[in-house]
């Protein structure tokens, strides 16, 4: 029957899309374990590119910097973002709608524009390029994501639970600590993981804001790619993509991203 054929075709289409999405990444990962420098086949398993990485102090320094920046970004963005979410969710006040709309520019404006604008401004106020500028930029990009994710979690909160706690004699602080916070914790964790991913994977803004020779991992990779491909880039790229996918998988478990839980 035609319905069955259509369904079969649909599933094949989905499989093709998944192939399209994952094949290049898998090829890259595969090649990072190939001994040949020029991606020659037959494939010969080797860890030499990973060993080379371990000895490359520039890459290690950039990787450490990236992780550090991502951690600091995560802490700041999650704290500020959670506080803002609670206010936006809990209270009705004038201008709330505008504040919510103001969350969109960091997401919707191309990073090229935001990045160059930050570069100009930070030079204008004398801060210049460097890790502090990168962190300021990353936090701004991560904040809207944290606020959106935490607010979504808050929206599932049953307000009568707070009323129930209050009717049982709990004061406002106890209610927040014992009832509200435990409920939104998964949202906060998911928001934090999103913030980490936004910062750790961020290239454009870092590119304009980091000091040459003091750059983050993606910026270093970009510079290296433009000089020519080496299996070493494959190896570090494989590591990066594994980390960021793992972070997102965990985030997906904590938010109800991708279905009701």
Least gap, CB of 13 to other proteins (angstroms): 5
Q: Which helix (H) or strand (E) holds 198?
A: helix 181-201
∠ at Cα 38 (32, 44), nearest 5°? 55
Using CB under 8 A as the binding criterion, the count of chain residues that bind other proteins stands at: 86
Tell me which stretch binds other proteins (CB under 8 A): 53-61, 140-148, 160-168, 176-184: 140-148
Residues 80-99 that bind other proteins (CB under 8 A): 80-81, 83-84, 86-88, 91-94, 99
Q: How far is 24 from 12, CA to CA, in rounded Å?
A: 19
Q: Is 105 in the site for other proteins (CB under 8 A)?
A: yes
For the stretch 122-128, contacts whose Cβ atoms lie closer than 8 Å and that sit 24 or more positions apart, written own/partner, are 122/209
Which of 214, 19, 195 is CA-nearest to residue 106? 195
Q: How far is 187 from 251, CA to CA, in rounded Å?
A: 9
Residues 59-78 that bind other proteins (CB under 8 A): 76
Q: Which two tokens stand for residue 42?
A: 């037959």
Cβ nearer to other proteins, comparing 137 with 179: 137
Contact pattern for other proteins over residues 164 through 203, marking x by CB under 8 A = ---------------------------------x--xx-x
Tell me which stretch binds other proteins (CB under 8 A): 54-62, 67-75, 107-115, 159-167: 107-115
């Amino acid at each position: 029957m035609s319905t069955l054929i259509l369904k079969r075709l649909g599933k094949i289409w989905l499989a093709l899309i998944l192939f399209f999405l994952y094949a290049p990444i898998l090829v890259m990962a595969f090649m990072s374990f190939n001994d040949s420098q020029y991606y020659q086949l037959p494939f010969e398993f080797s860890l030499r590119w990973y060993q080379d990485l371990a000895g490359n102090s520039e890459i290690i320094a950039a990787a450490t910097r990236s992780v550090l920046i991502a951690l600091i970004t995560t802490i700041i963005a999650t704290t500020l973002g959670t506080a803002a979410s609670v206010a936006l969710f809990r209270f009705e006040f004038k201008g709330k709608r505008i504040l919510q709309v103001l969350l969109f520019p960091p997401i919707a404006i191309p990073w090229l524009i935001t990045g160059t604008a930050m570069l100009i401004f930070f030079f204008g106020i004398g801060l210049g390029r460097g890790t502090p500028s990168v962190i300021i930029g990353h936090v701004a990009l991560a904040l809207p994501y944290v606020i959106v994710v935490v607010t979504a979690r808050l929206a599932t909160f049953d307000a009568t639970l707070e009323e129930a706690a209050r009717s049982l004699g709990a004061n406002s602080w106890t209610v927040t600590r014992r009832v509200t916070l435990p409920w939104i914790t998964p949202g906060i964790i998911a928001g934090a993981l999103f913030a980490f991913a936004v910062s750790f994977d961020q290239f454009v803004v870092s590119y304009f804001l980091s000091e040459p020779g003091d750059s983050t991992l993606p910026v270093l990779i970009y510079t290296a790619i433009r000089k020519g491909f080496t299996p070493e880039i494959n190896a570090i790229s494989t590591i990066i993509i594994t980390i960021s996918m793992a972070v997102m998988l965990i985030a997906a478990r904590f938010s109800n991203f991708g279905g009701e839980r």
